[in-house]
Every structure is written in structure tokens, then in C-alpha cells.
Structure 1
């Protein structure tokens, strides 16, 4: 136990000493990879070195801009490329982007990072990490981020076909409404009307909800139980979906990936906090207006000089220089 706590203290100390740099680096990496992925589909800046240079340049703006602004920038780039094939497609995509912003992003700006991670990881088993770990730090609004990310990913996936459809529609159809109908029908057919898409999104959102609800539950080891139950829900959900509607996935790989992601979730939970549940106490008191029922759980801390474990409640009598407070 001491060795794990010593490692934890060292890692957290490194993070705290370089918090600003590490956070900026993480934002840049996520933005850069997203830009490369988007460019590989819609080709807003060419290919090869040119694509990397443009992605790096735009990604550097994430160092000063919030993640939700970077998400809006990427949606704008996609709309700009779509406008080259016709104003109708760009208008439809602008409408979808505006709806996502008005109904979700402007209300849950911090959850924009979940949207970007969903876009990146949805085609891989890495998406399990998003739904198992993000509920440990984000609120219930993260469920909407999973769905928005899924919508945006599938729209990006069919963008080449959409551009071709918009071009052909412009040649063959006489009315604007007919062109809009063709584009919307294709988008809805690959998202909202797609049974596999809905099943995948439903499972991922349920996993997020399970982890979140257990995480906020006042039980011992809530974080670890939340990750475990989320992993079980993920395995059962995709197994049932595979049997019922033949979702495109490899069950052994899905199970193995979920187990690995759950282990990562346990590690993140351990890094987040370590509590001494054996020393938990219930405190009750009241005033003129309220009655308070509070459960106090001491943190377990490591003294680097004495190499001993101390509950957080005992730290007040110790010197600050020998305690690593987390």
C-alpha cells in the first residue's frame, strides 16, 4: 500500500508542479488529432506535410481558446468545405451545427471535450474509456455530449457521400426543398433512423449514466464500484445488441477492451482520491432551521519523511512540510 501511495504522491506532485503546461499540452494534442482526423475526411487543408502544418497552427490556438470554441472552429471548417459543393449542403450542416450549439454546447461548455473525444474514439474500443472515466469528473450533462459526438462523427463519416449527393442533387432537382430533403434523408438514415447507431449510442449513454449515478451515491468505494458496474453494463449491453440486432463488433475484443478500460478507470479513481473507510464517522448536528447528517471519511496520506500512513483528520497536528496533501 505504501508503495502505491508513494507513486501516487509523486505523480500528483509532478502534475501540480506542471499543471498549466500539462493541461495546455492535453488540449493541443486533442485538438491536433481531431483536426487531422477531420482533414483526412473533408480535406480542408490538403494532405501530407501541408495538412500537418495547418493542423498544428490551428491546434496551437487551443492553448488560449476553450475546447468548445475549438469544436465550433472544426464544425466551421467542415461547413466551409461543404459550401464548395453547394450552398444547400452547407446550409443544412449549418442548421445542424446551430442546433447542437444552441441546445447543448452553450449550456454545457466544459463537456465539449467529451464530444471531441467521442468523435475521435467512437470508431475504436477507446470509446469505452470515455464512458467509464468521464462520469467520474463530469455531471449528468455528459450524456448529451456522447450523443452529440456520435452524431457529429457519423456526419463526418458520410461527408464524401454527402458532398457527392449535394452535387448530383444540384444538377437533377429543381427545387431547394427537394435538395434539402435528399440531404436530410441521407443524414437521418445514417444516424437517427439507423438501428445500430441508436443501439450503440443508447448503450454508451446508459453506461455513462450508471457510472455517474453510482459515483454520486453515498456508499464506500463508490468510484471503484461505479467503474466496475459501468464495465459490466457495457459488456452486457453490447452482448445483447450483438445477439438482437447484429451490431458490428468482435465480442472477445469488446470484452477484453472493456476490462482494460475498467482497469484504467480503477487507476484514475485511485489517483483521484484514497479514503480510509474504516475510520468513517457520521456527524449529526442542527441549527434553528436545519438538521445536518454528515458522513466524514478521512483521506489516507503519506508522510514522505516518516514513510507512514496518516488519516487526513490527523494531519492538523503535523507539520505542513512533511505532508503531501491531495
Structure 2
């Protein structure tokens, strides 16, 4: 646990220092995976499904807001649908417009949620969505989750019926259009998945916002259980063939991701919980305070040894010129002796000069006479 907390602190420092570059790299990878998944599944137009187009769209969308990436993915899907069948593209355009009306109304700044939802279904792990959205978001996040689910099933329906649509003539085009519209609107599996995602997300978010101990762990487990129960019950009641392996495996993966998210975003010490009560003129306040777990990141220290150690085990101090303390002391002693010798020589010269002047001026004779 302590290693995970140390890793979290290091990741926080790294993100704080290089957040701009990290976000752009993640945005590029998301675009590359998204456009690659679209082109590999419904690549009906050969030019648009090329690797050059995939990488180019990912690079362009890296430097633009996430909303532009959602719109670019929508346009790419419609281009492939148009290459397959123009009526299918028209119906899909209307459905996309209805979804985006709700999307831009409730969560205009959460474009990546739509992409994450669709990719989770494409990767066969749909029930990690309620855990992630319920723990990190608000109840409004059910709107992009539902939009991403519907978008995935639209692509799935077109891919499943692509052979029939390509071989259909002009007379049967109308029947194919009606069949596709009915399949999208009346798909029991799609609406079951939408209902499961919505209910589980609301349950996870409700439990997570409670003041009970270990709320995030309970919320993750509750969301996984709700997904398994609702999806399995609907699978039996509606006589569907949705894989139980995908249901159980994705729910279990959701619990694991929930535990990791708790370590990264909500690591607290419930053993030191405090309950505080106070009041003012109008209200009584009952506060539950749970301290966060903080772990200092160990820093590496490098010891430089540039000289021989003394008997006490200490390295002798060095001055700016790199000389040791003993050498400094010797130098200082020599300097003092030089100064004292120079002072003696200067005093002797002054005495001799004074005597010579006294003899020349006759001052010595006057002193003797006076005596």
C-alpha cells in the first residue's frame, strides 16, 4: 500500500510538471485508438480507412478541443455509412443530431466520456463505465454514457448487416432502410445496456457520496453487483444471447479499477476519523472529518568524497582552491612568519637610518655635552 501511495505522489509531481505534454500525448493515443477502431470495423471507404488518414486525424485532433474529436469521429462514421448506403447515412445523421442535442445541453465539456463509453463496449468491457463515471463524476454523466452506448450499437448493426446492404438493389433499399431504423430504435439489447449503465452509474454515485466508511469500495462493489443482476435478469427476460462471461468479467474488472481509483483520488485513514459538532444562530452542524493519507516521497541523496578521510571518519574541509585544512594551516603559519620577518627587517633599517642622520647632524655630540 505504501508503495502505491509513493507512486501516486510521484505521478502527481510528474503530472504537475508536465501536464500539458501528458494531456496531449493521451489525447493523441485516444484519437489513434478511436479512429483506428472505426476504420477497422466499418472501413467501407478505402481512402478514409487508410493508416495515413487515421494518423492524420489523430494528430490534428490532438491540438484541438475534445469536442472536435467527437465531431470528427461522427463525420468519419457518416462517410463510411455513405459509402455503404446513402439512406443509412441519412438515418444515422438524424440519430446523431438527436443525441448531440442532449449531449451539448447537459455535458458540453465532457466530450471524452462519449468516446470512452463507445470504446469500452468495443473492447468488451462495458461495465467498467458505471464504476468510473459514478466514482469520478456526477449523475449528469449518464447522458454521455448513454450516447456512447447508442453510437456503438449503431456501428454494430451496420457492420452486421453490411453484406445485405451492399447486395441490396434500388427496390429493396427502402426495405433495408426501414429495417435498419427499426433495428436501432427497437433493439432490446441496446436499451438493456443503456438501462444497466444508467442504473449502475446512479447507484455508484449515490453510495460514493455517502459519509459511510469505505464508501468508494462499497460503491464499486455495489455497481458491479447491479450490473450483473440487471444485465443477467434482462438477458433472461428478453431472451437475449448476451455473453455472461463478458458481464461477469467486466464487472470484476470494474471493481479492480474502482480500488485503483480510490488509491489515486480518495486515499484516507478511517482509523483517525473525527466527529465534530458546533452551532451558530440558525443551525447545528455535525461534521465528520476523515484525514487524508500523506506519504513523503523518499529523495535520493548523493555523497561526494573528494579527499582522504581523517581518523574520526570525516572528510577534511576544503577551500575554494581545493586545498585541505592542514595545508591551509601551514600556509597561514608561513604567512605569519613572513610578516613577522618583514616587520623585524623594517625596524632595523629605521634604527640604522636614524643613527646615521644623528651623526651627520651632530646630534650625538650635543647629547654628550648636555650630559
* TM norm structure 2: 0.70
What is aligned with 1:321?
A: none
1: CA distance between counterparts of 2:92 and 2:243?
Answer: 33
Corresponding residue to 2:180 among 186, 198, 205: 186
What is aligned with 2:113?
A: 114
Corresponding residue to 2:223 among 220, 230, 235: 230
Moved over 6 A (4+): none
1: CA distance between counterparts of 2:245 and 2:72?
Answer: 38
> Measured at CA, do residues 204 and 20 of structure 1 come closer, stay the same or move farther in structure 2, by a change above 3 Å?
same
**1:66 correspondence with 2:59:** no
What is aligned with 2:28?
A: 28
CA displacement at 1:44 relative to structure 2:
6.5
CA displacement at 1:293 relative to structure 2:
3.9
CA displacement at 1:201 relative to structure 2:
2.2
Contact 1:85 1:163 in 2 (8 A): no
CA displacement at 1:211 relative to structure 2:
0.9
2: CA distance between counterparts of 1:271 and 1:85?
Answer: 45
> Measured at CA, do residues 126 and 288 of structure 1 come closer, stay the same or move farther in structure 2, by a change above 3 Å?
same
What is aligned with 1:316?
A: none
- Figure out how many residues of one structure are paired with residues of the other and give that number: 298
CA displacement at 1:230 relative to structure 2:
0.9
> Measured at CA, do residues 304 and 93 of structure 1 come closer, stay the same or move farther in structure 2, by a change above 3 Å?
closer
> Measured at CA, do residues 257 and 293 of structure 1 come closer, stay the same or move farther in structure 2, by a change above 3 Å?
same
CA displacement at 1:288 relative to structure 2:
5.3
What is aligned with 1:298?
A: 291
> Measured at CA, do residues 283 and 45 of structure 1 come closer, stay the same or move farther in structure 2, by a change above 3 Å?
farther
CA-atom RMSD in angstroms: 3.1
What is aligned with 1:137?
A: 136
2:268 counterpart SS class: coil
What is aligned with 1:10?
A: 10
**1:199 correspondence with 2:192:** yes
CA displacement at 1:73 relative to structure 2:
1.3
Contact 1:115 1:145 in 2 (8 A): yes
2:295 counterpart SS class: strand
Which residues of structure 1 form unaligned runs of 5+? 307-326
2: CA distance between counterparts of 1:221 and 1:147?
Answer: 28
